Amino acid sequence: MAIVVGSGAGGGTIAKELAAAGHDVLLIEKGPAIEERHAHRHYANIDAGVKVMRTCCLGGTTLVSAGNGMRCLERELRELGIDLAREFAKAEEELGVRELPDDLLGEGTRRLMSAARQLGHPVRKMPKFIDPDKCVSDGLCAFGCPAAAKWSAVRFVKEAEEHGARVITERAVDAILTRHGEVSGVRCRRWEAADDLVVLAAGALETPRLLGRLGLPTSPLFVDTFATIGGVCPGAGFHRDVPMGAFVSYSGGLVLPHYSRQLVALLQDRGHPVGPADVLGMMVKIRDQDAGEVGETVLKGVTVRDAELLIEGGAIAGAILERAGADPGTFVTAPLRGSHPGGTARIGVSVNTDLETEVSGLYVADASVLPAAPAAPPILTIVALAKYAAGRMGR
């Protein structure tokens, strides 16, 4: 048997892979099984200085993703001895990663892409795990897709169930049980499940807490801190675009088209008579320094280096927005957030290159193991890593 803790990008993949390989899998998820379109009700964000975002429900934070399916950290992982070429290719096939046709990207995104090109920035379409035949271009990816057009880990959980996996929701694992240096099961309050193969995939904010209670080493948090900058552009209709349909890379990370309701509220507060259709926005997502902590509380501030990268990216975003028709006299910036918490149980610190801890049979397979801030969407890498590790478990 195998116990998998958490059903997001990492846990959903592990459950599917192990169940398909003939393991008797028990998947334990803290949040409820929900309708995808209600995912926004299950955000469990943490104000840690920078607001750290995640959702707690079956499928984890994949339910609110923008569908970005980019390979990241490929070189860093190869340098650690992990070659994911095969797993990336398989993950792209299973998630259906592709570029979206121009008409789905939306007029605002096309304007921003054209402005970026005019300013000499190489701009590329974002690879997406969104089915263009189902996408209704409502801009609601981060709320939970109402059209089920986007891959989420729930699909992998369902596949795991088809292979016989048992799924328990609304139950949080609060302790890992060990005996003589080997894992022996998990505890959820007074309920226990026994097994000699346990995979932690509770996300980068919960997994290190479970490891810490066993006295196992953990590592600092990164979140890919981002700022959303925008200004008035009457009638742009950008709020319905598929978010982050394209990107510009710069030395600090990525600059991407991004609508946020916070921009509208900030502009209205400043007296601009705007509605959702009257705003153009861009996200600056940086490779933040991993100076965050996950303990009793979560702490994640902004270092001087982070601020420099945000300013550098902000200048690029501002110039693109202005060229695309947003009024620079109205520019506002939403409070800093981070949607890619990771790094808290790194390869080389908490786990080896098979993702196994020093407790025999206890593995980690979520964003916690990532070796560095990607400054890019990590789901595809988490899925590929989980596939890689699943093939090495229980050998």
Q: Which positions lie near ligand FAD, rule CB under 6 A?
A: 5-11, 28-31, 53-54, 56, 60-62, 64-68, 142, 172-173, 201-204, 206, 339-340, 366-367, 377-379, 382
Please state, in angstroms and rounded to a whole number, the distance separating the CA atoms of residues 52 and 207: 15
Please state, in angstroms and rounded to a whole number, the distance separating the CA atoms of residues 363 and 347: 11
Q: Which CB sits closer to ligand FAD, 53 or 254? A: 53
Amino acid at 347: I
The length of the chain in residues reads 395
Please report how close the Cβ of residue 235 comes to ligand FAD at its closest, in angstroms.
26
Please report how close the Cβ of residue 355 comes to ligand FAD at its closest, in angstroms.
12
Please report how close the Cβ of residue 388 comes to ligand FAD at its closest, in angstroms.
14
Neighbours of 263 (CB within 10 A): 28
In which element (H, E) is residue 300 found? Answer: none
Which sign does the torsion angle of CA 251, 387, 176, 55 carry? positive
Helical residues (DSSP H) of the chain, grouped into ranges = 9-20, 74-79, 85-95, 102-105, 107-118, 153-162, 207-213, 261-269, 304-324, 379-390
DSSP one-letter string for 260-278? -HHHHHHHHHTT----GGG
Q: Which CB sits closer to ligand FAD, 330 or 339? A: 339
Shortest-Cβ-distance residue relative to ligand FAD: 8
Give the residue among 15, 388, 9 at the shortest CA–CA distance from 198: 15
Torsion from C-alpha of 60, 66, 71, 74, nearest 10 degrees: -50
Residue 3 backbone phi and psi in degrees, to 5: -105, 130
Q: Which CB sits closer to ligand FAD, 119 or 177? A: 177
Joined tokens for residue 73: 């950290």
Please report how close the Cβ of residue 315 comes to ligand FAD at its closest, in angstroms.
24
Please report how close the Cβ of residue 33 comes to ligand FAD at its closest, in angstroms.
11
Q: Which CB sits closer to ligand FAD, 45 or 118? A: 45
Q: Which CB sits closer to ligand FAD, 29 or 241? A: 29
Residue 208: C-alpha distances to residues 4, 203, 301, 362 (Å): 15, 9, 19, 13
Exposed, middle or buried: residue 131 (CB in 10 Å: 0-12, 13-18, 19+)? middle
Q: Which CB sits closer to ligand FAD, 330 or 333? A: 333
Asked if residues 131 and 336 have their Cβ atoms less than 8 Å apart, the reply is no
Please report how close the Cβ of residue 281 comes to ligand FAD at its closest, in angstroms.
15
Please report how close the Cβ of residue 169 comes to ligand FAD at its closest, in angstroms.
9
Please report how close the Cβ of residue 274 comes to ligand FAD at its closest, in angstroms.
23
Q: Which CB sits closer to ligand FAD, 104 or 232? A: 104
Asked if residues 171 and 28 have their Cβ atoms less than 8 Å apart, the reply is yes
Please report how close the Cβ of residue 60 comes to ligand FAD at its closest, in angstroms.
3
Q: Which CB sits closer to ligand FAD, 318 or 378? A: 378
DSSP state of 371: S
Q: Which CB sits closer to ligand FAD, 16 or 330? A: 16
